[in-house]
Structure 1
């Protein structure tokens, strides 16, 4: 018995035998090596390790990995797991399970063609947004790049494919009137605190969910952003999830945000009745999806059009800009990785401010 394309065979003595190319003999024929084990998976994993360890010093000695994408992606995820965040691992697993493996999973990776990848990308347009398609494509590209780097695949079929063009993101923020209505409703709602914090600090929803009382210094009147709370997929499945504390999105996301006097008073008042280490949630942490559920209720009461919670972060940045804050200050408050990212995100808002400056010349 053999698993097609893998060079793994079932022996009569009950063991599995794996064969791999070690190099070439003096007469030019291939010199094979063999490994044995009583479990198929054990032999398969050892073969992958051996092949990945081989150096690509001579193209004649290079042998492409003949396993399927199902098998390779499983190995890839195990290899990179220690180097990525649980939330990133969960995202990779979900995209593989729902969008990549149904198309390519049973196919040997060396047989995946560029034309197939482009066809797959076009099919994804029927159910995913352009940004989600790009994110899913990057997972497949990274997975196959890992095989290329280990000389198990000669060329990544994802290279130079035609991706659907992304439209520039329009920053969605509330007007001053909309913000005022939202604040009024949030103050009256039992779970409106996350909304008020977002409008005053620009923190992300996961950062607000993970905020603890120990992160707030009422003497210095600052919040120290140290963690984020996210629900991620449990290892080995795309169905079960768990709520976990993680480090913020990037090193720049670990930051200090000054508290306004009003927000300081409000948080001190809430702390007196707190029964949890977390600022949001009376007895336990309030996870992001619950915060978002309450946010939608508050928006309806405030008679606002459907907006994402992330719009509150953009609203905070817009108010900062309107009040004369520099790009560097806004970037630091938001925890962006660079000033360029801030400029790219709020280019339309900055253009409005630029126009005001130019128009002011007319009165001179």
Structure 2
């Protein structure tokens, strides 16, 4: 029969277990020892310690950057209803690429100084990382260190104060890319009907983001008041597990700001397009039969099988479509820029365009479309009608 104990201390018998918690500044594993009256008791204490660490009940003065930040990401940030899956995917990517196995990963939180962070940023810049990449890293680290200060791991946020982002210069606004009249006519007049053509037409006519367009439901169209309600968005994101496994999923989310939840005009020129989409969708239901995905019932833009549209597939379809119609490649988002530019050129007021676009402030709109802000008028225009394409 196996012994219940394996260690003697001060004349008493214990069962001792060691567990590792990250690495020290020299890369060596940090080990802690747990003692119990038997193996089961010792293992229980290990699990209790780990659970308490996750819940913030233990402030480990020897906590290390990579291990603690990893726990914070998956046990705090990932379960917050304030952080969207797309945002968490971005955070996890920054952590994995710039922190997890970096030269600053083994630093003890309590000893981290601004100069160490600054040197790391300078090193990244010298190795070819862009100012934008380092800026985003600093933004995430600042967020994490605020948490660490609040939890008592360190006294001061090392990313606040004297940190300088290498290569940072005064930001110069560049003009947004828009389609010309000839390009729009080529896009809209292509004789063969397709889903990507319909999506492009609706994005151009309404100024919606592509995710907002993909999330439209039939109930969002009010043909009595001629309005469209926008309150959801479709995104394709990598759902990341604690073990770093990744699964791409197309999901429904709420828009990123309160201003994005809005009601906009429904151009009369879009009505026959929506009618055509409805007919095609009903045909697909009959064609696919029982295999048709009924979980997404009510959404306007779906695949032939009734699934939500993957945003990566949409981007590829858009690139192929532009090549087919002989138009230079610009991202689908350029249709939104084209919409806004045309409204300004027609004299629509800044505040009105900002509301139509779902921006959180007029400052964002003004900074984005500085080059087209001219005289103001109250009346919106129906772009498709002006182009005489419908």
Q: TM-score range by the shorter chain?
A: 0.7 to 0.9
Counterpart mapping for 1:288-307 below 5 A: 288-307=311-330
Deviation at 1:186, TM superposition (A): 8.7
Q: Could you say if the C-alpha distance between residues 210 and 67 of structure 1 is closer, same or farther in structure 2, counting changes exceeding 3 Å?
A: same
Deviation at 1:114, TM superposition (A): 2.7
Q: Could you say if the C-alpha distance between residues 176 and 144 of structure 1 is closer, same or farther in structure 2, counting changes exceeding 3 Å?
A: same
Q: Does 1:278 align with 2:299?
A: yes
TM-score, normalised relative to structure 1: 0.79
Q: Could you say if the C-alpha distance between residues 192 and 112 of structure 1 is closer, same or farther in structure 2, counting changes exceeding 3 Å?
A: farther
Residue range with higher mean Cα deviation, 293-302 or 278-287: 278-287
For 1:337 and 1:186, the matched residues in 2 are separated by 38
Partner of 2:10: none
For 1:320 and 1:124, the matched residues in 2 are separated by 43
Deviations 1:315-364 (A, max 9, x none): 111011111111011000110001111111111222xx27xxxxxxxxxx
For 1:40 and 1:152, the matched residues in 2 are separated by 21
Partner of 1:73: 69
For 2:339 and 2:192, the matched residues in 1 are separated by 17
Instruction: Check the 8 A contact 1:226/1:254 in 2, yes or no.
Output: yes
Instruction: Check the 8 A contact 2:66/2:99 in 1, yes or no.
Output: no
Q: Which one of 333, 337, 346 corresponds to residue 360 of structure 2?
A: 337
Q: Could you say if the C-alpha distance between residues 303 and 119 of structure 1 is closer, same or farther in structure 2, counting changes exceeding 3 Å?
A: farther
Counterpart mapping for 1:94-173 below 5 A: 94-103=93-102, 104-125=104-125, 129-159=130-160, 160-163=162-165, 164-165=167-168, 167-170=171-174, 171-173=176-178
Give the alignment's Cα RMSD to 1 decimal.
2.8
For 2:245 and 2:133, the matched residues in 1 are separated by 18
Instruction: Check the 8 A contact 2:111/2:154 in 1, yes or no.
Output: no
Instruction: Check the 8 A contact 1:183/1:196 in 2, yes or no.
Output: yes
Q: Does 1:203 align with 2:208?
A: yes
Deviations 1:53-109 (A, max 9, x none): xxxxxxxxxxx7321223212332222332322222222122212232231333332
Partner of 2:50: 44
Deviations 1:29-65 (A, max 9, x none): xxxxxxx86263540341462346xxxxxxxxxxx73
Deviation at 1:157, TM superposition (A): 2.1
Unaligned runs of 5+ in 1: 18-35, 53-63, 355-364
Q: Could you say if the C-alpha distance between residues 177 and 115 of structure 1 is closer, same or farther in structure 2, counting changes exceeding 3 Å?
A: farther
Residue range with higher mean Cα deviation, 169-178 or 116-125: 116-125
Unaligned runs of 5+ in 2: 1-17, 25-29, 286-296, 376-390
Deviation at 1:288, TM superposition (A): 1.5
Tell me how many residue pairs correspond in the alignment. 323
Partner of 2:86: 87
For 1:302 and 1:128, the matched residues in 2 are separated by 37
Instruction: Check the 8 A contact 2:190/2:325 in 1, yes or no.
Output: yes
